[in-house]
């Protein structure tokens, strides 16, 4: 791309020095090729299909907070950052319209910027999301903030779960947590766990398929199944009762019930749907595992929330609560 065609926004900050930033932006745009769309003006202009609604989300990935340099390749860091944001579109059953990036890159990461861009490009391409704008700046830590835009005629929120619905989860849970545990011990994770940690998929097509079948509430598993379903229970004003055997059966080989409940950054979908919706056909239709793991009940006197079946009347199992980024 000739210099005078570079998007102004990409060159609006000068922390890298005008020339070097310019070169960095040009190199990234070259890596993305025809994946970029509408860049070159002060802002992107996108058409929302008639009858659909705009669905927007943003997600930050910060070094030593969301990832560690020693654990992932630069490409995987870029891929995960974009996938995390795209997964939030999936959770709403939205079709991606575009993706915008705000990247803060310290000097020690500058040589990795093209590899990071490749990873972002892989995730965007897999989701069918063109890159429509961005902003590059210097700074102390690598931070990749990804804003995603999508559309849906009927977005699926967290608040639609109704008593009588069944609860489902896609994929096999636990891999990212087991990978993380090994990495924290300074060990090399099992390849299958590492792959789930480093190369998760945003379940875009699966989510839309599930929405068309009648999913009533949906969320992506980013904080952990129990913590994320707690959000659904709270938003819907219901109680979610999980079947421990079914959750354990939905775990990756080697993972236990507690791992499947706690493992975050899965980017699988947790959802509710009436049994009559037959969402289990997802596996035959799109080749992604899905398991019925529980049921939705009235909140009742005990209040809403998430519990494990068989824990006894009123006996709340100590389910994992998920991450709090401000806790340390
Ligand atoms: Mg989410």
Cβ-based neighbours of 68, under 8 Å, separated by 6 or more: 183
- pLDDT of the chain, 328 residues: tens digit per residue: 444 444 445 543 334 456 777 788 888 988 999 999 877 777 889 999 999 999 999 999 999 999 999 999 999 999 999 999 999 999 999 999 999 999 999 999 999 999 999 999 999 999 999 999 999 989 999 999 999 999 999 999 999 999 999 999 999 999 999 999 999 999 999 999 999 999 999 999 999 999 999 999 999 999 999 999 999 999 999 999 999 999 999 999 999 999 999 999 999 999 999 999 999 999 999 999 999 999 999 998 777 899 999 865 544 556 777 666 665 4
Q: 16 CA to middle of ligand 1, Å?
A: 33
Cβ neighbours, 10 Å, residue 219: 27
- Ligand 1 mean position to 45 CA, how many Å? 26
324 phi and psi angles, rounded to 5 deg: -125, 110
State the distance from the centre of ligand 1 to the C-alpha of 2, rounded, in angstroms.
38
Which of 160, 138, 185 is closest to 21 using CA atoms?
Answer: 138
CA of 100 to the centre of ligand 1 (A): 17
Task: For residue 162, report the distance from its CA to the centre of ligand 1, in Å.
Answer: 20
| CA of residue 92 to ligand 1 center, whole Å | 9
**Ligand 1 centroid – CA 315 distance (Å):** 28
CA-based torsion, 105, 119, 85, 25: positive or negative:
positive
For ligand 1, the distance from its centroid to the CA atom of residue 249, given in whole angstroms, is 23
Compute, in angstroms, the gap from residue 141 CA to the centroid of ligand 1.
24
Angle subtended at Cα 123 by Cα 135 and Cα 126, rounded to the nearest 5 degrees:
135
């Amino acid at each position: 791309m000739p210099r005078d065609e570079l998007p102004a926004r990409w060159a609006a900050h000068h922390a890298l020095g005008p020339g070097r930033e310019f070169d960095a932006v040009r190199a990234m745009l070259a890596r993305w090729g025809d994946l970029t769309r509408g860049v070159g003006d002060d802002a992107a202009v996108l058409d929302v299909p008639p009858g659909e609604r705009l669905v927007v989300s943003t997600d930050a990935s910060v070094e030593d907070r969301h990832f560690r340099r020693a654990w992932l390749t630069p490409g995987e860091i870029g891929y995960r950052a974009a996938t995390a944001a795209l997964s939030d579109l999936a959770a709403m059953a939205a079709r991606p319209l575009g993706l915008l990036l705000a990247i803060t890159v310290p000097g020690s990461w500058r040589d990795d910027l093209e590899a990071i861009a490749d990873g972002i490009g892989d995730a965007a391409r897999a989701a069918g999301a063109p890159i429509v704008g961005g902003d590059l700046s210097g700074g102390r830590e690598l931070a990749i903030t990804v804003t995603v835009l999508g559309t849906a005629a009927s977005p699926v929120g967290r608040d639609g779960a109704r008593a009588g619905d069944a609860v489902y989860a896609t994929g096999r849970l636990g891999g990212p947590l087991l990978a993380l545990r090994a990495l924290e011990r300074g060990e090399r994770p099992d390849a299958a766990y590492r792959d789930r940690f480093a190369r998760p998929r945003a379940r875009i097509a699966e989510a839309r398929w599930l929405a068309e079948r009648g999913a009533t509430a949906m969320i992506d598993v980013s904080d952990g199944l129990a913590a994320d379903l707690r959000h659904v229970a709270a938003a819907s004003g219901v109680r979610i009762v999980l079947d421990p055997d079914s959750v354990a059966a939905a775990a990756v080989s080697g993972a236990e019930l507690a791992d499947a409940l706690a493992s975050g950054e899965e980017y699988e979908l947790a959802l509710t749907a009436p049994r009559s919706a037959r969402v289990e056909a997802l596996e035959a239709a799109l080749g992604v595992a899905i398991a019925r793991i529980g049921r939705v009940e009235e909140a009742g006197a005990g209040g809403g929330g998430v519990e494990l079946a068989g824990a006894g009347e009123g006996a709340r199992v100590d389910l994992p609560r998920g991450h709090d980024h401000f806790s340390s």
